[in-house]
Amino acid sequence: MPATKLTTIRVDKPWGRKKLWPGFDNDSGAQTGEIWFEAPKGTDPDLMVKYLFTSEKLSIQVHEDDASAHAVGHERGKDEAWVILGAEPDSTIGLGLHETVSGEALRAAALDGSIETLVDWKPVHAGEVIYSPARTIHAIGAGLTVIEVQQNVDLTYRLYDYGRPRELHLDKGIAVSDPKPFKIVDTGYDAGAGRKILCEGGKFVMERWSWDGARDVTMPDRVPGWLIPITGGGTVDGTRFEAGEGWMVNGGAALVVDAGSDLLFAYPLADAAPILG
């Protein structure tokens, strides 16, 4: 199967923004919160990739891991990672708690709102990469432009939403939470030839490519790769791609990258790295 251009889905949110990332226009003037890339119908890929544009804090939430997700009938849990493209000077992401608490204490904090100060709001800056495993209590803050790579499942439990009129999921969320501090671990390294590994291990790997010219990309059998041009463009199997698009590579593809381009490439399984010829 050749490289496939994914369908772009724009989702307006009250917490979204009118000013987006280069490659995305916003002629409607709506508050766009998410832009995500939909896989071909009839497929159930391991991963999903989306952009997030925040003007307010998102809900404090948590996700199932694979084991607990399987127990309630879902194909997979939800690890996720964020590539910070842009951040206001005071932007933060909530990751873990300042201290370990019991499930009862977590419930009480969610009900009285003190969970907002219990969460560890860590400052973030453009260029950072954060891998957040399932069961981590987290919340994306305001003033951020991020690419989110996640396991492909619609399974989110909200613990707190700042008084917004949306359903909370305290019983399910507390049951799958690790209510403890979380330390950001930088596992990135330079793999040479314009290829940087942003994170590996967990449920997927992310790479950032900054080379230009022609190279062949070969994926292991039945392991797709997600190609996200952050800036610039090029061709994949002779078809033009540009920033603001999402592509899926199955098998192999001939890639020609314009000078100065910045590409994100993600794939499941740490032992399924692409071969670049």
In Å, what is the CA distance from 43 to each residue of 19, 40, 206, 248?
32, 6, 21, 12
Is residue 271 pLDDT above 80, yes or no?
no
Q: Which CATH number fits domain 4-175: 3.40.50.300, 1.10.340.30, 2.60.120.10, 2.60.40.1660?
A: 2.60.120.10
**If you average pLDDT over every residue of the chain, what do you get?**
95
Determine whether 45 is exposed, middle or buried from the number of CB atoms within 10 Å of its CB (0-12, 13-18, 19+): middle
Banded pLDDT at 1 (limits 50, 70, 90):
low
Range(s) of the chain covered by CATH 2.60.120.10 = 4-175, 189-276
Closest CA to 145 of 265, 26, 226, 236: 26
pLDDT tens digits, 165-207: 999 999 999 999 999 999 998 889 999 999 999 999 789 999 9
Banded pLDDT at 84 (limits 50, 70, 90):
very high
Homologous superfamily of the 189-276 domain (CATH): Jelly Rolls (2.60.120.10)
User: What amino acid occupies position 11?
Assistant: V
pTM of the model: 0.95
- Residue owning tokens 């190609």: 227
